[in-house]
């Protein structure tokens, strides 16, 4: 085994050897089409590695990335790892203070910045204690020009020798319950997972994916980039998501599959005219994940695109995806991401800390698991127990071995003595014929303690009122669980975070303000 075999930066080397002149990435950044072959991507990553070594970045040192969806993200991300450095790909939609916090918390030695992706990116990088600052366009005085530095650097001849548990990259969690935390992900764990996926659920060289979600998020990187490049396939890389452009790209490039969060699918379903006008005959599969998924949404997508199979996924930044469709061919029930995947261990742990058979907090163990959290021994002790990762997610397991997400450990609330999960109320709302999307959060109530409230997006052409929706929920669901407050918004006003997932903190705060301005009633 060579040093390249143990370094995640080289994980697609076999594809480079097999298909050097094949297009690996179709990059649509800047409104133009760039076709990047496997050989070109490999050379670019090698030159980034050579650039970092030339600038004095050593193995184990971190490099920041404030870069959007473009092929340069990939060559920097994997090129840094080839040099033994640790890339820190930062959510480009974070607030300025959070951007600053991550750069400083990670102790980055240098940073790559695409100025256009964040209004404060240049100022934050300028103020951070960095040895070098590299701009992808229009470098300010004292900054380096990315293209010039990359193309002027020699290709790295060989990667450095790294310890067996060497860190590969450092993603930061969304920080929904506090400041973002940097997860320590290893080369060995990530390489195991790439090979593991190919052994059990293989991608093919003929596969073509479509990415419209941010590359800094696991949905894009783990779900499409790694399996596609490892197998020698190709993918289309969009700079961002727009429903009509997404459908056009699926058709134009004959994409065979795509993955996204629920918002991707609820939004393109609002454009039935565009759906009817495109040829999606090459499309075989769509996967929805990274957030709560309703079976109504999955059914509606399958009706809208006949012949396409829609699946649900569950996964964590720090622990991978423990549930998959059964290898024996059994169909996965709606509402479930599947059964326990091979070679992964899970536990369901009840409130008393004892293992339960049917429902509890999900703990998981596999070589994928992060080693801990950067400079956060307190969080590491809390989240990692004897090699088990505590996910904070409550799951139910049925008699056939299928798992169902219930809620976050800290999301359940009591309404007049009845325990309510936000997902259960969201599932009820999605059954309403006029509802396209919804998020539920608890708001304070003088008598009940807490009651459900909802932000709702209507399907185009529907004019249901908030009172109509509340009345419908009273008739069609448990009376204690109906939303006492409903705010109807346009799809562009749905509270989403940088990864395109529902931001429940924003939703909770917005609904609290709504409830405070009105008198609650049952």
pLDDT at 499: 60
At residue 292 the predicted structure's pLDDT band, cuts being 50, 70 and 90, is: low
Q: What is the number of other CB atoms lying within 10 angstroms of the CB of residue 144? A: 16
Q: What is the number of other CB atoms lying within 10 angstroms of the CB of residue 335? A: 17
At residue 500 the predicted structure's pLDDT band, cuts being 50, 70 and 90, is: low
Q: What is the DSSP letter of 388?
A: E
31-86 pLDDT per residue, tens: 999 999 999 999 999 999 999 999 999 999 999 999 999 999 999 999 999 999 99
pLDDT at 254: 98
At residue 479 the predicted structure's pLDDT band, cuts being 50, 70 and 90, is: confident
Q: Read off the pLDDT of each residue in 258-268 and give the average, rounded to a whole number.
A: 86
Helix residue spans in 338-497 (DSSP H) = 377-383, 422-430, 466-476
Whether the per-residue pLDDT at 460 is higher than 80: the answer is: yes
pLDDT at 518: 59
Helix (H) or strand (E) holding 359: strand 359-365
The whole-angstrom separation of Cα 53 and Cα 483 is 57
Token output for 430: 């999605």
Q: What is the DSSP letter of 373?
A: B
Highest mean pLDDT among 140-154, 302-316, 418-432: 140-154
Distance of CA 490 to the CA centre of its chain: 23
89-115 pLDDT per residue, tens: 999 988 888 899 999 999 999 999 999
By C-alpha distance, which of 338, 343, 339, 91 is closest to 220? 91
Distance of CA 37 to the CA centre of its chain: 25
Whether the per-residue pLDDT at 377 is higher than 90: the answer is: yes
Q: Are 295 and 334 in contact (CB under 8 A)?
A: yes
Whether the per-residue pLDDT at 515 is higher than 60: the answer is: yes
Whether the per-residue pLDDT at 521 is higher than 60: the answer is: no
Lowest mean pLDDT, pick from 5-14, 166-175, 252-261:
166-175
Q: What is the DSSP letter of 305?
A: S
By C-alpha distance, which of 69, 160, 186 is closest to 116? 69
By C-alpha distance, which of 156, 160, 164, 174 is closest to 75? 156
Q: Are 168 and 187 in contact (CB under 8 A)?
A: yes
pLDDT at 43: 98
Q: Where is pLDDT greater, at 345 or 421?
A: 345
Q: What is the DSSP letter of 224?
A: I
Count Cα neighbours of 459 within 13 Å in the Cβ-side half-sphere: 15
Residues facing 112 on adjacent strands: 65, 134
166-200 pLDDT per residue, tens: 999 999 986 444 578 999 999 999 999 999 999 99
Q: Where is pLDDT greater, at 352 or 44?
A: 44
The whole-angstrom separation of Cα 323 and Cα 381 is 25
> What share of the chain in percent tops pLDDT 90?
72
Q: Read off the pLDDT of each residue in 367-385 and give the average, rounded to a whole number.
A: 95
The whole-angstrom separation of Cα 514 and Cα 487 is 8
The whole-angstrom separation of Cα 189 and Cα 367 is 5
Mean pLDDT computed over every residue of the chain: 91
Task: Indicate the pTM of the whole model.
Answer: 0.83
pLDDT at 202: 96
Whether the per-residue pLDDT at 266 is higher than 60: the answer is: yes
Helix (H) or strand (E) holding 145: strand 144-145
Only one residue has tokens 């339960």, namely 356
384-434 pLDDT per residue, tens: 999 999 998 899 999 999 999 887 777 777 786 677 878 888 888 988 999
Beta-carbon contacts of residue 427 (< 8 Å; ≥ 6 apart): 294, 295, 296
Lowest mean pLDDT, pick from 14-18, 279-283, 426-430:
426-430
The whole-angstrom separation of Cα 77 and Cα 97 is 23
pLDDT at 246: 95
> What share of the chain in percent tops pLDDT 70?
96
pLDDT at 498: 64
pLDDT at 174: 65
pLDDT at 177: 45
Whether the per-residue pLDDT at 134 is higher than 80: the answer is: yes
Q: Are 24 and 75 in contact (CB under 8 A)?
A: no
Lowest mean pLDDT, pick from 62-66, 341-345, 369-373, 446-450:
446-450
Indicate the angle between helix axes 38-54 and 71-82, nearest 10 degrees: 60
At residue 142 the predicted structure's pLDDT band, cuts being 50, 70 and 90, is: very high
193-251 pLDDT per residue, tens: 999 999 999 999 999 999 998 999 888 999 999 999 999 999 999 999 999 999 999 99
At residue 295 the predicted structure's pLDDT band, cuts being 50, 70 and 90, is: confident
Q: What is the DSSP letter of 352?
A: T
Q: Are 458 and 487 in contact (CB under 8 A)?
A: no
Highest mean pLDDT among 31-45, 302-316, 450-464: 31-45
The whole-angstrom separation of Cα 508 and Cα 439 is 9
Only one residue has tokens 């980055």, namely 108
What are the structural domains, with CATH classification, of the chain?
A: 4-10+38-169 (3.40.50.980), 413-516 (3.30.300.30)
Residue 193 three-state SS: helix
Lowest mean pLDDT, pick from 7-16, 100-109, 361-370, 470-479:
470-479
């Amino acid at each position: 085994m060579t040093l390249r075999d143990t370094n995640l930066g080289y994980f697609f080397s076999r594809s480079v050897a097999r298909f050097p002149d094949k297009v690996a990435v179709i990059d649509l950044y800047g409104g133009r089409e760039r076709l990047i072959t496997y050989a070109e991507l490999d050379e670019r990553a090698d030159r980034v590695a050579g650039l970092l070594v030339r600038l004095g970045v050593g193995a184990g040192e971190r490099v920041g990335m404030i870069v959007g969806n473009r092929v340069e993200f990939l060559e920097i991300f994997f090129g840094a790892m080839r040099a033994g450095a640790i890339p820190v790909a930062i959510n480009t939609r974070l607030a300025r203070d959070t951007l600053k916090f991550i750069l400083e918390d990670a102790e980055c030695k240098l940073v790559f910045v695409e100025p256009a992706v964040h209004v404060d990116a240049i100022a934050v990088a300028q103020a951070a204690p960095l040895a070098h600052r590299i701009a992808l366009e229009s470098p300010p005085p004292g900054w380096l020009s990315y293209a010039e530095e990359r193309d002027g650097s020699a290709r790295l001849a060989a990667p450095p020798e790294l310890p067996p548990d060497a860190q590969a990259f450092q993603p930061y969690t969304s920080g929904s319950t506090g400041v973002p935390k940097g997860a320590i992900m290893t080369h060995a764990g990530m390489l195991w997972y790439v090979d593991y996926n190919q052994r059990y659920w293989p991608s093919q060289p003929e596969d073509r994916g479509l990415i419209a979600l941010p590359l800094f998020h696991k949905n894009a990187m783990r779900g499409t980039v790694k399996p596609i490049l490892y197998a020698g396939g190709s993918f289309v890389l969009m700079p961002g998501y727009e429903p009509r452009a997404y459908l056009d790209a699926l058709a134009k490039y004959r994409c065979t599959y795509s993955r996204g969060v629920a918002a991707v699918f609820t939004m393109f379903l609002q454009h039935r005219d565009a759906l009817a006008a495109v040829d999606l005959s090459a499309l075989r599969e769509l996967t929805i994940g990274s957030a709560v998924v309703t079976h109504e949404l999955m059914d509606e997508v399958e009706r809208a695109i006949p012949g396409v199979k829609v699946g649900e996924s569950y996964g964590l930044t720090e622990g991978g995806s423990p549930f998959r469709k059964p290898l024996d061919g059994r169909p996965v029930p709606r509402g479930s991401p599947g059964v326990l995947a091979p070679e992964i261990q899970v536990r369901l742990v009840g409130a008393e800390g004892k293992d339960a058979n049917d429902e509890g907090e999900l703990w998981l163990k596999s070589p994928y698991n992060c080693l801990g959290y950067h400079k956060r021994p307190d969080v590491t002790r809390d989240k990692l127990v004897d090699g088990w990762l505590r996910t904070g997610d409550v799951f139910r397991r049925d008699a056939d071995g299928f798992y169902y997400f219930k809620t976050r450990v800290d999301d359940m609330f009591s309404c007049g003595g009845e325990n309510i999960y936000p997902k259960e109320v969201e599932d009820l709302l999605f059954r309403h014929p006029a509802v396209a999307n919804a998020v539920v959060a608890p708001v304070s109530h003088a008598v009940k303690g807490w009651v459900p409230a909802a932000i709702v997006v209507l399907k185009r052409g529907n004019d249901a009122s908030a009172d109509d929706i509340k009345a419908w929920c009273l008739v069609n669901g448990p009376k204690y669980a109906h939303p006492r407050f409903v705010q109807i918004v346009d799809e562009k006003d749905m509270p989403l975070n940088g990864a395109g997932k529902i931001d429940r903190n924003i939703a909770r705060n917005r609904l609290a303000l709504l409830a405070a301005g009105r008198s609650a009633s049952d």
